[in-house]
Amino acid sequence: MIAQVKEQFHKLFGKEPIIVSSPGRINLIGEHTDYNEGFVLPAAIDKKIIYAIALNGTDTCNAYALFNHEKVSFSLKNIQPAQGWINYLLGVVHELQQLGHAVKGFDCVITGDIPIGAGMSSSAAVEGGLAVGLDHLLHLGLTRMQMAKIGQLAEHHFPGVKCGIMDQFANLHGKKDRVMLLDCRSLEFQYFPFEFSKDYKIVLVNSMVHHSLASSEYNVRRAQCEEGVKILQQFYPGIHSLRDVTPAQVEQHKDKLPAKVYDRCLYVTQENERVQLACAHLQKNELKEAGKLMYASHDGLSKLYEVSCMELDFLADLAKEREEVAGARMMGGGFGGCTINLVKQDQVEGFVSFVQSRYKERFGQIPDVYVTSIEDGTTVKER
């Protein structure tokens, strides 16, 4: 991919770029907790967006995407939301300008192998790659957390997805063979060794359902959680978000909460507890115990948070039938995308064959499968 973007960049722009490698992410457990100021356990992976990028000495930004052979340009003087992938670039540039940084015109070519709509956060990889590239070229001196916040605000203000900070954080802070426990309120984080990489592989199975509902329903879920907090504040004035609430407290006031709001609040509070329990199990090398929490997470996402679909539920149920799988669940915003499965390394082939065969019988198509590894976050590769 690096050779491809460099070759295309030389053809289009006739100069030497820097190369930026920006990964997708997995999330072991902790879904839809980030915008509720809760806990998540993500990691960067070996699926990436690759940039070739250089300044051009003008007030215009030019971008070419190898994945759809589309070239777009925009002026730095009047940045407005647009349609498609360019929105993520526009958003990052706009947020940098809002912070008072003098962004200069640039040329870039982008490619990647993060499957779109599979829940591996290709959008955060596009945002993080551009932020790191511009920080490097313009000597902005931004911290990784500042760049994560820029990516998050870009997503809020341009595509209009009111996401939490997990995707951008994982993209920029990833470390090889480490998962990261992130406190989405304080933004404090801790690395945990993923000691199982020799015995287990992280296998993502794509439901092949594009999560077209995810953006709109994401915002609906966020509003429902905020509604729950307002109601619960009548009984617990000191709370600011569902992070401050226990499942027992949600259950105690079930009769005061609309049914759907109750379900959403119960899921989030239970999921926060599961994330912290999972970290305790990982520290003790208890992968099977952490895996049970992943299955419980999926059940909550399906039944209480209602962001799954029959294809994802089918894949999670298939995983439960297999002894070589320590744990599995849907991953990402929902309504499609992938399940994440922890599979014994020497039995990955058999698992993949089983899942693809059964899925084809049920849904008439063979799901894509990605065997991934945990890698470093966004890096500048220079030339």
Half-sphere exposure of 241 (CA within 13 A, CB side): 16
Low-confidence ranges of the chain (pLDDT < 70): 117, 195, 197, 211-215, 383
Task: Locate CATH 3.30.230.10 in the chain.
Answer: 2-193+376-382
Give me the pLDDT at residue 161, please. 81
**Of 197, 187, 268, 196, nearest to 227 (Cα)?**
268
| CATH fold group of domain 200-372 | Alpha-Beta Plaits (3.30.70)
- Whether 203 and 60 have beta carbons less than 8 Å apart is answered as no
CA atoms of 227 and 244, how far apart (whole Å) = 15
Give me the pLDDT at residue 383, please. 59
Kindly report, residue by residue over 233-280, the tens digit of the pLDDT.
999 999 999 999 999 999 999 999 999 999 999 999 999 999 999 999
**Of 339, 332, 335, nearest to 358 (Cα)?**
339
289 burial level (CB within 10 Å; 0-12, 13-18, 19+): middle
Give me the pLDDT at residue 238, please. 95
- Give the global pTM: 0.89
Residue 100 gets which letter from DSSP? T
Give me the pLDDT at residue 214, please. 59
Give me the pLDDT at residue 332, please. 83
Give me the pLDDT at residue 343, please. 97
Q: Which residues are catalytic?
A: 167
CATH 3.40.50.300 fits 2-193+376-382, yes or no: no
CA atoms of 183 and 130, how far apart (whole Å) = 25
- Whether 191 and 180 have beta carbons less than 8 Å apart is answered as yes
Task: Locate CATH 3.30.70.890 in the chain.
Answer: 200-372
